[in-house]
Amino acid sequence: MHEPALRAAAFGSDPLPDPAVLRGAGAPRARLLAAIVLGAQGRYAAAAALLDVLRRVSDPLLASLAASTLAAHRRQLGGHRQARALDGEALAKAAGLESAPDPDGLDAAGARADALLGLAADNLALGRLSAARRLAARAAAEDAGWRAGVRRGWVGAEIELAAGQGAAAVPHAERAFETARARGARRHAVKSGIVLAVALRAAGAPDHRKISDGLVGKAMATAAECELLSLLWPAALVMADLRPGHAEEYRFRVAEVLHAVLRSADPCGRRIAGESPWVPAPGG
């Protein structure tokens, strides 16, 4: 009975559901959706408790989706090596599966796309640009729906940014942003706005400062309103670069949000964040 509300929170227009909806997630798929929502809120320990159980269920599709979701949470804390192992696990479980299509990609094609795009992001962060391109191309071959299309846009933009091709990153980021907005997926639109802002700045597009500043400002406002702490601190970090005159203010916000996130992380997540060069020290 909670699945429609959980889907709206995970993939739609209502990222901040009533807490009773999260507590009432009983069926396995509902628990997966609850874990996705909890991770978006930066409540990584609560999410991991659900996902660690779901990774071991007999349903390989659900187990794959749980593994790739946990990988995404580890990646958000800078744990790309740990995420790569989980994404590999997810891909192995989804290989050869067939299922009925799901509107949000919680199906076999979506599971493979999630795992492949996760592996692409993992390899990119570990300096394996060619591998990241190959994995992203494999993901594009899956007919996996709107959510995979948004994620392909993120990863495609990040690959081009890593290659020093800011102008080439913009179309990927624009497609992700437009798809997320057309779908009414607020959380995905927030991240897409951040990625697009970074791409526009890297491309040196006309009025890119004003445009990217507006995109990130809106992303920060939405992330704060919807308590999307996993996206709020990266948005504030980008804003510190966009507004150097106010960098100290935004970096304080980064530290404040990260402190809250790490208090709600499991021990593995805290250790990963502490060791990662991608995550600022909460007090720094």
The stretch 127-136 carries a mean pLDDT of 97
Task: Report the C-alpha gap between 31 and 48 in whole angstroms.
Answer: 11
Residue reference for tokens 């191309």? 137
User: Does pTM surpass 0.85?
Assistant: yes
Task: Report the C-alpha gap between 27 and 13 in whole angstroms.
Answer: 22
Q: What are phi and psi of 199, to 5 degrees?
A: -65, -45
Least-confidence region, from 22-26, 74-78, 171-175, 276-280: 22-26
Task: Report the C-alpha gap between 264 and 269 in whole angstroms.
Answer: 9
Q: How confident is the model at residue 19 (pLDDT cuts 50, 70, 90)?
A: confident
Handedness of CA 241, 237, 166, 123 (dihedral sign): positive
Tens-digit pLDDT profile for residues 114-128: 999 999 999 999 999
CB atoms within 10 A of CB 121: 25
Residue reference for tokens 């949470």? 73
| Strand, coil or helix: 22 | helix
pLDDT for res 250: 94
Task: Report the C-alpha gap between 64 and 95 in whole angstroms.
Answer: 10
Of the candidates 113, 187, 186, the residue with the CA atom closest to the CA atom of residue 155: 113
